[in-house]
Structure 1
Amino acid sequence: MSGAEGNGQVDGTAPAAQKRSTLPGDRAFFGQPLGLFTLFGTELWERFSYYGMRAILLFYLTDTVANGGLGVEQTSGEALVAIYGSSVYLLSVLGGWLADRVIGARRSVLYGGIIIAAGHVLLTLPAPLFSYLGIVLVALGTGLLKPNVSSMVGELYDRDDPRRDSGFSIFYMGINIGSLSAPFLVGAARAIGGYHAGFAVAAVGMAIALVFFVAGRKYLGGSGDVPPNPMTAQDRPAVVRLVLVVLAGIAFAFAVARLVRGEFGLSTFIDAISYLALAAPVATFIVMFRSPKVTANERTRLRAYIPLFVAAMIFWMIFEQAASTLASYAQDNTELSLFGLSLSPELFQSINPATIILLAPLFAWLWIRLDDRPPTAVKFALGLTFAALSFVFLAGASWLADGGKTPAWVLVAVYVIQTVGELCLSPVGLAATTLLAPRAFRGQAMALWFLAPSAGNAIAAQVIQSTPDASPTAYFGTIGLVALVFAGAMFALAPWVTRHIRAGADSPGEAALQH
């Protein structure tokens, strides 16, 4: 689905060697280790539960109490869905750190899955308190699980195993199968039994994921059992200081949000999480630039990464609105019929994974044919351009409708255009992150990449709250045009970025990768 999920193989092989001999069924799953089947099934059903819940979340939040919803005002509901997405990515940083330093990837996935399942169960109960607590638990559990299933896939292979890339391709297909099917089944359950029935289907999906993971542990050969960089007694004072700094930052963000809003409510919570999501990448870059472990060459590369990060942040700000403003547009401004068939609004969220499944092999072939051209910076600019054009196109269609509803194919086209942008930007995003991150921070590269969609969602939440009365034409048109300006700037900066990547390369071969 979302490329921010990535393949996740930042390193993923360091702790596996000590148990390599215990891996059974080495080629039992389409020529891959049988452990891949365990992780494939786990991720498929976890993504089914996540995207199934997300597909109907906005409708549940904003529907009237009489219809089984929570009665949240539309703008607040859209902003809450956006900040929920931001929280998931922000908590993924915590989940990755806990797995690396404390509990290992396997326990992180297991505990995360249990917390997600508990959250979905709470969402099946018809009480607002249970619903909000369920949303929090799903976000927390996803943060624990999301970055670590991918790293466990990496541990199934030696670094020089030629099956690694194809194994991740199979694994990534599971993500898209889960996210493709979820809106159909959860939407059907909602139509038959209401919102809580839909959440129950998502809960069943997460339960199946846990069964896959627990029952298939014996095929993992110890993958994820051991933290790759376990915390030592000498590390504890520094970790305590870090925890205190983070807690102080959270308290400060909520205090500022409370001061700005003048009260503590839903908008205060949304603002506070937004501040944290926007501050996190700034703090990360400052730490990297100031670290004595970072060499001059690495600082050169890091400077080149900043424009790429900003482009990715704006891209995800647009792309991640699939579950917020685009879901609202599907429900309120789209003719819900296509080729004579009636559609439910959540079904549009299946277009992205379906398009990924169809187009990903074509793009993989295209980059090979072009010898991986154009350079990374140009691919980022292209991805942002397509995302921006999707909103400009939707604004134009809305303007032509003149207050009426646009045909369903319009929204289909919007999702397809965005997916083309995703295929330009996302597959190279994590690769660029791991390539350009300083060596001392290479293990945290996945965390840095997750901060881009987290910040993008936070920007979306703030824009949504600031434009409650904007028409679809004005809202999507303005964001699209502003994003086009950023895309133009990225094209203009592309030669500078490419030169800095080459200048900071560790070897001529690495520099040659930027054509």
Structure 2
Amino acid sequence: MSQASKASFSGGTTSDFYKSNVLGQRSGLFVLFFTEMWERFSFYGMRVLLIQFLTAAVLKGGWAWSAEQAGALYGTYAMMLYLTPILGGIIADKYIGSRKAVIIGSIIMTIGHASMAFDTQMMFFIGLACLVIGTGFFKPNMPSILGEMYKDLPEKKDGAYTIFYMGVNAGAFFGMMLCGYIAETQGWHWGFGLAGIFMLLGTLQFVFAKPLMGNLGILGKAKDLSAEDKLLEDADKRNPFTSLDYILIAIISIIGFLYAFNDPLSKNGIIDMFSALDLPFLRGQYLMIFIALVLFIYLIASRIGRYDKVVRDRMIAVVFLAFFLIFFFMSFEQGATSLVIVARDYIDRSLTGAALTTFNIVNALLTIVPLGLISWVLIKLAKATWNKIALSNIILIICFVLIWGAAIWMLKNEFSKEASEITVSWFSTLNSFFIIALASTVSKLWESKYNPSAAMKYGYGLILVAIGFLVIGLGSWGIGEGVKISMIFLILTYLFHTLGELFISPVGLSYVSKLVPGRMLAFMFGIWYLAIAIAQKVAAVLGGQVETIQQEYSLSHFFFLFTAIPAAAGLLVMVFNPIIKKLMHGVK
């Protein structure tokens, strides 16, 4: 490899790699953008169906589980999706590198989606297992590659991660819309199968983009480091992982996985592996989780404590942010559990006449405008990179031809109906649509003089989520038996939740990459996802109580609970703003 080429992937700015820009960002960002987009298409396309499929009546092709049982399985699935990245990050860092980890994860997930296309329980659970394992390799290493790509441009990272996050939500939007529509109109397993097709194509697109990516994500390749990076790397080399660290990681992971399996098994009356540990006031599985939490706190404290003061303080700041992230996601992720059930059972989704025509026009715009925007980005990328990654671009074009075909088919079907009921999955697409519509505006805010500190962003985000629940809580206030909620309240809820998400999720990943030493990066991304794992499980357990709370109290009580939790956490993180800002030692 020439010296210019070496520089291109190690922080140099004179190479074709960095001259090849798209929309003011490095073209490699958009390779990652589309890779993540198709992975999220498949993931969210399947996820939006899961609770509906499990709780649907047998006559409608479902398993007829209760909300509590479905929530337990979904919570376990979601929790494990965020636990396996800890191991996946360590394996990538130590043995195979980020890029190989992404490819391996993508292949395993493709197998998982294909398995779920078969109409048997065994293949369904095999598919879920493959998705969990594959995500463990994929999830922590995509942002790790992106962090490496922008190592020499820290001031551009917030914007780059926000654009990357828009790719996440573009995939989620089209996945939930098309997989959800096909599943609800043609059959559940058709929707599961469609998700697998785009997972496969997304994998091929990433593999064939290798000439553009150079040594990014390749283990052991030399990099030209800045003076500060060298200090961080030297500090990290003085603090290798100890045998005790690995033992604690193994124990915590085993307990976490056993709990994840035990919760749905015990709630379905199959087996309770921790029943021998039950106390009069505490179930055995929760006792084990408490022990794992204590070990985890010790692991993080001992690991961080070995660094010099500046590095140590910055990593403590990451832990602070991860803690408040739990309160955000335990509320925000109701969109995958309780809000799906609310949309199905308590929202007025029937339309006729002028209302149906208006909805179809709006829905067509919601579909065509984002699809046109993302297609335009594809054209810009193809023009900038065709000479280097033509095959990758061809696969992307095939993907978009298929997406356009499916979208036009869906819209044609809906326009031909005289009366219709909006699909449950349509409401789930609103979050992703609002992200696509608002992400670039918020990204510009982070690059302006009005860019707030990390803690203030978290505070604003949590309060916006609380406002979202307040809106639908007021919409459901005092409704009688058989009366349904106007869909405008649920739409506004998703709008406020999206604004809250934009203040927290993408910038959170960016702060991890800025504050953490290089060799610890993928591991700390794993820790970040562990915080989300805890929140996912809590969210699903609480979300599974929506029917119980509705019957014993009211639906508005359920929503006001989720108004209070994020609002209180938002105010608290704002109070901690001076402390967190000091711990960052100048990182902005």
Q: Normalized against structure 2, the TM-score is what?
A: 0.72
**Paired position in structure 2 for 1:327:** 340
Task: For residue 548 of structure 2, give the secondary structure of its aligned residue in structure 1.
Answer: coil
Which of 292, 295, 299 in structure 2 is aligned with 1:287? 299
**Bigger mean CA offset, 35-44 vs 203-212:** 35-44
Q: Which residue of 2 aligns with 1:356?
A: 435
Distance 1:418-1:476 versus aligned 2 partners, 3 A rule: farther
Residues 90 and 409 of structure 1: CA distance in aligned 2, closer, same or farther (over 3 Å): same
| 1:405 CA displacement | 1.2
CA contact (8 A) 1:304 1:498 kept: no
2: CA distance between counterparts of 1:186 and 1:482?
29
Answer whether contact 2:317 2:580 (CA < 8 A) is retained.
yes
Which of 249, 253, 258 pairs up with 2:255? 249
Q: 1:461 to 1:502 in 2, by over 3 A?
A: closer
The structure whose Rg is larger is 2
Task: Please tell me whether the aligned partners of residues 183 and 347 of structure 1 are also in contact (alpha carbons under 8 angstroms).
Answer: yes
Q: Which residue of 1 aligns with 2:176?
A: 183
Q: What does 1:430-469 align with in structure 2 at a 5 Å threshold?
A: 430-433=509-512, 444-465=523-544, 469=548
Q: What does the per-residue CA deviation read over 1:96-118, in whole Å, with 9 as the maximum and x for residues that have no partner? A: 22111121111111111111111
Are residues 1:396 and 2:484 paired? Answer: no
Contact 2:86 2:526 in 1 (8 A): yes
The corresponding residue for 2:464 is 386
Q: CA distance change for structure 1 residues 278 and 220 in 2, over 3 Å: closer, same or farther?
A: farther
Residues 66-75 or 447-456, more deviating: 66-75
2:495: which partner in 1? 416
SS of aligned partner of 1:372: coil
The amino acid of 2:186's aligned partner reads: G
Residue 312 of structure 1 contacts residue 453 of structure 1 at CA under 8 Å; is this kept in 2? yes
Equivalent position to 2:210, from 205, 209, 217:
217
Contact 1:317–1:460 (CA under 8 A) maintained in structure 2: yes
For residue 70 of structure 2, the aligned residue among 77, 80, 85 is 77
1:119 deviates by: 0.8
- Native 8 Å contact 1:278 1:455 kept in 2: no
C-alpha separation in 2, matches of 1:254 and 1:398:
33
Q: Which amino acid aligns with 2:463?
A: T
Say if 2:80 is the partner of 1:87: yes
Which moved further from structure 2: 103-112 or 148-157? 148-157
Kindly provide the amino acid, as one letter, of the partner of residue 78 in structure 1: G
Q: 1:16 to 1:325 in 2, by over 3 A?
A: same
> RMSD of aligned C-alpha atoms?
4.1
Q: After TM superposition, list the pairs within 5 Å mapping 1:107-146 onto structure 2.
A: 107-146=100-139
Deviations 1:457-500 (A, max 9, x none): 111233245565220874663464465256336425634x2332
1-structure distance, mates of 2:158, 2:573:
31
Contact 1:274 1:462 (C-alpha < 8 Å) held by counterparts: no
Task: Give the superposition deviation at 1:212.
Answer: 0.6
Q: Tell me, in whole angstroms, the C-alpha distance in 2 between the residues paired with 1:350 and 1:46.
A: 16
User: Which blocks of at least 5 consecutive residues in structure 1 are unaligned?
Assistant: 1-12
Amino acid at match of 1:327: V
- AA aligned to 2:133 is L
Contact 1:383 1:423 in 2 (8 A): yes
2:36 matches 1:43 = yes
- Please state how far the C-alpha of 1:331 moved relative to its aligned partner: 0.9
Identity of aligned residues (%): 27
Q: Which moved more, 1:296-305 or 1:98-107?
A: 296-305
Give the counterpart letter for 2:217 in structure 1: G
In 1: Cα distance, 2:189 partner to 2:99 partner: 30
In 2, Cα distance between equivalents of 1:193 and 1:447: 38
Aligned to 1:470, what secondary structure does the other structure show? Answer: helix
Amino acid aligned to 2:437: L
Q: Following the alignment from structure 1 to structure 2, what is the Cα–Cα distance between the partners of residues 164 and 489?
A: 26
**Range 463-472 or range 326-335, more displaced:** 463-472
**Mapped partners of 1:275, 1:224: distance in 2:** 39
Q: Write the deviation string for residues 173-205 of structure 1: whole angstroms up to 9, x where unpaired.
A: 322221111122112322442011111111111
Task: Tell me the matched-pair count.
Answer: 492
Partner of 1:309: 322
Amino acid at match of 2:465: A
| Aligned equivalents of 2:149, 2:271: Cα separation in 1 | 46
Q: Is the 8 A contact 2:144 2:522 kept in 1?
A: no
Indicate if the aligned counterparts of 2:7 and 2:15 stay in contact, CA closer than 8 A.
Answer: no
Counterpart residue number, 2:567 = 487
Contact 2:255/2:292, CA 8 A, preserved across alignment: no
- 3-state DSSP class of the match of 1:222? coil
In 2: Cα distance, 1:115 partner to 1:273 partner: 30
1:288 counterpart letter in structure 2: I
SS of the residue 1:226 aligns to: coil
Answer yes or no: is 1:106 the counterpart of 2:99.
Answer: yes
Q: d(CA) in 1 for partners of 2:261 and 2:121?
A: 25
| Residue 63 (structure 1) shift | 1.7
Closer/same/farther in 2, CA of residues 302 and 353 from structure 1, 3 Å limit: same
